[in-house]
Amino acid sequence: MNTHLTEEQISQYIAGYTTGELDRHIARCAQCLSRLGSFENIIGQFRGSADDWAGRECPRIPDMATLSGTLHRSRTRSLRWIAAAATLAAIVAAIPAFRKPVEPPVAELEQSRSDAQLLERVNANLSQSAPASLQPLMEMLPPRNDLKNEGEIR
Amino acid sequence: MQPNATSELLVTNIDKAAAAVPNFDAVVQQHWQRVFRFVLASVRDVNEAECLTQDCFCKAYKAWNRFRGDSSVETWLMHIAVNVVRDFFRNRRLQFWRRAPVIDASEIGCILMDRKLSPETNAVVQEQLRNVWAATEILPTKQRTVFLLRFVDEMELSEIAQVMGITEGSVKVHLFRAVHAVRKRFGRSQ
């Protein structure tokens, strides 16, 4: 291998994808070894900072009594969840029992009734042979059958 | 009956059961620090880390009878810790109203001050550290977990596979992606 290792190859090497060729190159190439070394160095610092942080923040290791309290709390919490779920299920199950059949609103019924009445009046008007203003005159005329008979006589 | 008699009874029962688990106190004493360090590095919130570590030991305690001894207690505890952290992130994604601000990467980077180094070198190291913490923060949960187990807990790949319940090949893939992402960020600061 004449050229230096790519960034990917170095990452592969760190991740554990080692091959004989990679091993040999790193053993011979000072530049690639230095790149690897600088990453290992910063990872060492990273580990140190994580250690240091945990060491500073870890207050005190709890004893069994404290853990028992936590266990109790978690059990109470899960009991509370179970109770909440049961209540919800009961409510959902009870909904159909209280549900009434859906009826159209009163205003809609009134409207359709008045529409029907209006239509009836319009139909009655249309079925008349003369307009309403001429109705008194029409009543004065004899029935149509009489007129027909008179004509035949003449 | 007293109002809290049931809870007292429950605690007493747990205490009685605790006595049945041999040396669980010693297990807590021995492994607390390591589990806490992993959880803290993962969630970056001291209060959450403390609660989750407690959860982890509670789960271990409850499942103590099911521990078959196929792996070491430490590996088993880390397996529980990995699951606890995974569940935490899963829940946090859903519980957007409970999201607490986690510690800033720059604050963690300032923690380590090497007195052997000159102030200039220290400043450079601090900057690089900040970049590594910031890069690990945005990694997907699995990649971050593998990265932390490998480089903070210094676990072998086979051990990580056992802890995470995945194959060694998958561990390598996650680790490669994590290392590559961190090195990209780290390379920018060099």
pLDDT in tens, B56-98: 998 998 888 888 777 888 999 999 999 999 999 888 776 665 5
Q: Domain of A43?
A: 7-56
**Interacting residues of A35 by C-beta distance below 8 A, sequence separation 6+:** A5, A10
pLDDT band at B147 (very low <50, low <70, confident <90, very high): very high
Picking from B179, B182, B144, the residue whose alpha carbon sits closest to that of residue B41 is B144
Q: Using CB atoms, pick whichever of B11, B24, B128 lies closest to residue A42.
A: B128
A79 reaches B (C-beta below 8 A)? no
Residues of B in contact with A42 (CB under 8 A): 125, 128-129, 132, 186
Q: Tell me whether residue A36 is in a domain.
A: yes
Per-residue pLDDT at B10 exceeds 50: no
For CA atoms B61, B63, B66, B72, the dihedral sign is negative
Per-residue pLDDT at B18 exceeds 60: no
A61 reaches B (C-beta below 8 A)? yes
Picking from B68, B140, B33, the residue whose alpha carbon sits closest to that of residue B56 is B33
Give the mean pLDDT of chain B: 80
Q: Domain B1-101 classified CATH 1.10.1740.10? A: yes
Residues of B in contact with A67 (CB under 8 A): 18, 28, 54, 57-58, 61
Q: Tell me whether residue A113 is in a domain.
A: no
The rounded distance, in Å, linking the Cα atoms of A99 and A95 is 6
Q: Tell me whether residue A49 is in a domain.
A: yes
Q: Tell me whether residue A24 is in a domain.
A: yes
pLDDT band at B11 (very low <50, low <70, confident <90, very high): very low
ipTM reported for the complex, 2 dp: 0.78
Check residues A57 and B180 and name the one with the higher pLDDT. B180
Using CA atoms, how far residue B114 sits from A55, A129, B117, B123, in Å, is: 16, 114, 6, 10
CA A122 to chain centre: 51
**Mind telling me how many Å the CA of A83 is from chain B's nearest CA?**
16
Percent with pLDDT over 70 in chain B: 73
CA B154 to chain centre: 13
| Overall number of domains in chain A | 1
- Chosen CATH of B104-190 out of 3.40.50.300, 3.40.710.10, 3.30.750.24, 1.10.10.10: 1.10.10.10
- The ranges assigned to domains in chain B are 1-101, 104-190
Per-residue pLDDT at B13 exceeds 60: no
Q: Decide if B33 and A54 are in contact by the 8 Å CB cutoff.
A: yes
Give me the tens of pLDDT residue by residue for chain A, a chain 154 residues long. Answer: 458 888 889 988 998 888 888 889 988 999 999 989 988 988 998 998 888 888 887 767 777 667 666 666 666 666 778 888 888 888 888 877 777 666 667 888 889 899 999 999 888 877 877 777 777 777 777 766 655 555 554 4
The rounded distance, in Å, linking the Cα atoms of A6 and A144 is 114
Q: Tell me whether residue A30 is in a domain.
A: yes
Per-residue pLDDT at B174 exceeds 90: yes
Q: Tell me whether residue A95 is in a domain.
A: no
